[in-house]
């Protein structure tokens, strides 16, 4: 089952870190992300990339959930749907 990070807790943690340190380094950011509690995504939406063509005739990929255009990634950048169709358990 996919696991998610709560973005509001993450933002709070970044705010706290900025209050302690004027600037954060990549290793600080990595540490904050690694410390986040992972939440099982019980309401995950699953979709598939649908190959189609744009007006120029170029191949593009359309999300089957929201119709958004993406780059054949694991998640739709528009609606966040899991494009692996719920298969695999990582
Ligand atoms: Zn989508």
pTM for the whole thing? 0.50
Query: What residues contact 62, with CB distance under 8 A and at least 6 apart?
Result: 49, 50, 51, 52, 68, 69, 70
User: How far, in Å, is the centroid of ligand 1 from the Cα of 53?
Assistant: 17
| Distance from the alpha carbon of residue 18 to the mean position of ligand 1, in angstroms | 33
Residue 76 CA to ligand 1 centre (angstroms):
5
Residue 14 CA to ligand 1 centre (angstroms)? 28
Question: What's the CA-to-centroid distance between 55 and ligand 1, angstroms?
Answer: 20
Digit-coded pLDDT (tens) for 37-65: 887 776 778 899 999 999 999 999 999 99
Sorted by where each begins, the domain ranges of the chain are: 3-40, 44-90
For 11-37, the pLDDT digits (tens) are: 999 999 999 988 889 999 999 999 998
DSSP codes of every residue in 5-44: E-HHHHHHHHHHHHHH-SS--HHHHHHHHHTSPEEE-TT-
Per-residue confidence (pLDDT) for residue 21, from 0 to 100:
87
Cα(90) to centroid(ligand 1), Å = 21
Q: Does the pLDDT value for residue 71 go beyond 70?
A: yes
Asked whether the beta carbons of 44 and 83 are under 8 A apart, the reply is: no
- pLDDT for 87: 55
Q: How many whole angstroms separate alpha carbon 76 and alpha carbon 81?
A: 5
């Amino acid at each position: 089952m996919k696991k998610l990070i709560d973005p509001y807790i993450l933002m709070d943690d970044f705010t706290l870190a900025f209050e302690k340190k004027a600037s954060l380094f990549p290793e600080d950011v990595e540490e904050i992300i690694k410390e986040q509690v992972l939440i099982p995504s019980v309401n995950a939406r699953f979709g598939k990339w649908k190959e189609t063509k744009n007006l120029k005739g170029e191949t593009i990929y359309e999300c089957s959930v929201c119709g958004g255009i993406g780059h054949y990634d694991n998640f739709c950048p528009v609606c966040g749907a899991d494009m692996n169709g719920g298969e695999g358990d990582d």
